[in-house]
Structure 1
Amino acid sequence: MRYTFFLRNGGQLLQEELTQRELSPDEAKIFTSTELKKATNDFHDNIVVGQGGFGTVYQGFLSDNRMVAIKKSKEIDAIQVAQFINEVIVLSQINHRNVVKLLGCCLETQAPLLVYEFINNGTLFEHIQNKAKARSFCWDMRLRVAAEAAGALAYLHSAASPPIIHRDVKSTNILLDTTFTAKVSNFGASRLVPIDQTQLSTVVQGTFGYLDPEYMQTNQLTGKSDVYSFGVVLVELLMGKMALSYDRPEEERCLANYFLSKLKQSNLFQVLDDNIVCEGNSEKLTSVAMLAKRCLHVKGEDRYSMKEVAMELEGLRLAGKQSWNQIEPIEEESESLLSRKMNAFAIANGEGSSTAIGYDSMRDHISGR
């Protein structure tokens, strides 16, 4: 039965790809089901560290005592097998300090298993939303995390071959280690972009509250879709609130909309997180707010690239001197379109769900060196 699953999940194809690309076992290991059952005490419920539409994540220990995270996916159909194998091959070759490292996979089970390095300080979402954690999560730390995550995404867009669009950028998919180093994670929805293309036609997938409205309208996925979602993450860091909440008044439910409206009214400092406003970083806060606004343009062509976002954040982190003195007007048409599309999608999908489902320093940061 294990061999049947191995073949159905693309095991033979993966082995051929590994041989062709001359990847070492350290770069893309194929684990046996026996190894991973032992690592997780037969996938015991008491070591579950995360669950969602993608499946379940377990904490485990390999035979060499390395702590790992093992993602047990929901079943995938035959059409998805080749894409799954391709993603394993590409992600196993990514070695960026701010991307969670994929160690390998197991194809001997009903649904494939992915094995990642274990990051043990929770998610960015938790450090923003937990009141006790948020009080100690100072602005300089937030800015560093933002710069690191942006650098990782810029690397995926610009330096990976082929380029990778994450497609589900959000605060729960940015992990933090014990030194608060950011690690971008969860590439289950990611797409590989052929070298000769800049966009892909796909069924809309992502998490409501972070979804690019242009992508929602056109089904055309580009790197600018990740930029929009990252803009929402910047707003979360600034405001200390969830991207979407139906517990808030109607005008505040979608955080991106509410942020843009307050920015337009020149009331930014009325809505920023009290934990960071008291630190006296008004220029930095304004700078990041303006950067977030640029990421949140409805039209992708008006947004920065992820590389430009990363350079901007790293520059602010290192120098802290850049600021904007004026807030650009927000186009009424764009604001209206964003509101209409968000509301329509909320009705269709429900709250917060993952839908079906110095220069040298800046350069090195983005390249992952």
Structure 2
Amino acid sequence: MFACLKGKRHENNQTFFRKNGGALLEELVAFCDGRSNPIRHFSAEELLRATNYYANNQIIVQDAGYLLYEGSLKERPIFVKKYAVDSSCLWKHFAYRDIVIGSQMSAHKNVLKVIVCCLETKQPSIVYEFTGKQILSNLISATNTESVLPWKCRLRIAVDLANAVTYLHTAFSRPVVHRDIRCSSILLDHNNVPKLIDFGLCISIPQGQSHVEDAVLGRMGYLAPEHAISSYLKEKADVYSFGILLLELLSGRRPTDVIMVNNVPHDDDQHRVEIFSKVVDPRISIEEEQLQV
């Protein structure tokens, strides 16, 4: 009986592998314009053991579409991203895109490096290098009183992330729009170097086009207004989201919690400095000259 059950489970794993592998390969080849990048593969059983069977105390990031687990594989610390399992193909599509673009971006120092993937589960899983468990949104949160990131460190993080987003926009044959830039999807390593961990919502702009039309996807507070209105996506959508991220780094608060005064004259620098002074995280020290626009 046990042999029968084991055989059935193995058969199911192979079915998932064939379905996921074929679709992932199509996605990868399309993104690379016919030049594929081989991705190593681990089994579902290996990832179960690596994460202590996906124990709750191993969870590092809990997102709407996935969980990021800390684990150990072949005596090497790792992260395992397990996507949500539902009846639709939506999360599966996001997982494919995450693997494809994440693997292409792994050479960048501000992206969490993809090591392997697992195609034997209903939704593909991703294995990353282990860099540290600090989440940017937690470190800058106003509720965090233990280890406050100084302003110079936040500025360096902003510059690093700007470089990563620029690379995404310019390094490939077609520009790629991230459309989900936010502090809660960024890990920091032991030296506070930021690492982007999620490329599931990315979409490429067709060759020769200035934009792509797609469903309105994104997070409340980060979504570019022009995309929400027209469903057209340009690289500028990431510029808007990055601006919101800068506001978070400056204030230590979520974008929906920051109230900005909109009727200040654009040429009145003193008023703008006063506004920013009210927004600045009181736990950090910023010289007034740094707030000049």
Q: TM-score, normalised by structure 2?
A: 0.81
Counterpart residue number, 2:61:
50
Deviation digits for residues 60-118 of structure 1 (CA, Å, limit 9, x no counterpart) = 1111x222211111237457767754552332122100111122221111221112223
Q: Is the Cα contact below 8 Å between 2:84 and 2:91 reproduced in 1? A: no
Superposed displacement of residue 220, structure 1: 0.7
CA distance in 2, matches of 1:105, 1:12: 14
Determine which structure has the larger helix proportion and give its number.
Answer: 1
CA distance in 2, matches of 1:166, 1:175: 16
Q: 1:241 to 1:67 in 2, by over 3 A?
A: same
SS of the counterpart of 2:145? helix
- Match of 1:51, as an amino acid? Q
Superposed displacement of residue 46, structure 1: 2.2
Counterpart residue number, 2:73:
62
Counterpart residue number, 1:203:
215
Superposed displacement of residue 217, structure 1: 0.6
CA distance in 1, matches of 2:137, 2:160: 15
Deviation digits for residues 322-352 of structure 1 (CA, Å, limit 9, x no counterpart) = xx4xxxxxxxxxxxxxxxxxxxxxxxxxxxx
Determine whether 1:189 maps to 2:201.
Answer: yes
- Match of 2:67, as an amino acid? T
- Match of 2:283, as an amino acid? N
- Match of 1:109, as an amino acid? T
Deviation digits for residues 19-61 of structure 1 (CA, Å, limit 9, x no counterpart) = x74635xxx2122112211211222222122222112221111
CA distance in 2, matches of 1:78, 1:174: 26
Superposed displacement of residue 209, structure 1: 1.0
- Match of 1:193, as an amino acid? I
Q: 1:285 to 1:177 in 2, by over 3 A?
A: farther
Which structure has more relative contact order (CA 8 Å, sep 6+)? It is 1
Determine whether 1:283 maps to 2:283.
Answer: no
Superposed displacement of residue 261, structure 1: 5.5
CA distance in 2, matches of 1:186, 1:86: 10
SS of the counterpart of 1:186? coil
SS of the counterpart of 2:278? helix
Q: 1:169 to 1:258 in 2, by over 3 A?
A: same
Q: 1:22 to 1:166 in 2, by over 3 A?
A: closer
Percentage identity across aligned positions? 34
Counterpart residue number, 1:273:
281
- Match of 1:171, as an amino acid? C
Determine whether 1:166 maps to 2:168.
Answer: no
CA distance in 1, matches of 2:261, 2:47: 45
Counterpart residue number, 1:71:
81
Q: Is the Cα contact below 8 Å between 1:87 and 1:192 reproduced in 2? A: no
Superposed displacement of residue 13, structure 1: 4.6
Q: 1:22 to 1:173 in 2, by over 3 A?
A: closer
CA distance in 2, matches of 1:66, 1:242: 35
- Match of 2:183, as an amino acid? S
Q: Is the Cα contact below 8 Å between 2:216 and 2:231 reproduced in 1? A: yes
CA distance in 1, matches of 2:70, 2:144: 26
SS of the counterpart of 1:244? helix
Q: TM-score, normalised by structure 1?
A: 0.66
Superposed displacement of residue 14, structure 1: 4.1
CA distance in 1, matches of 2:218, 2:71: 28
Deviates more, 1:46-55 or 1:202-211: 46-55
Superposed displacement of residue 171, structure 1: 1.0
Superposed displacement of residue 274, structure 1: 2.0
RMSD between superposed Cα atoms in Å: 2.5
Counterpart residue number, 1:293:
none
Q: Is the Cα contact below 8 Å between 1:32 and 1:108 reproduced in 2? A: yes
Query: What stretches of structure 2 of length at least 5 have no aligned partner?
Result: 1-11
- Match of 1:50, as an amino acid? V
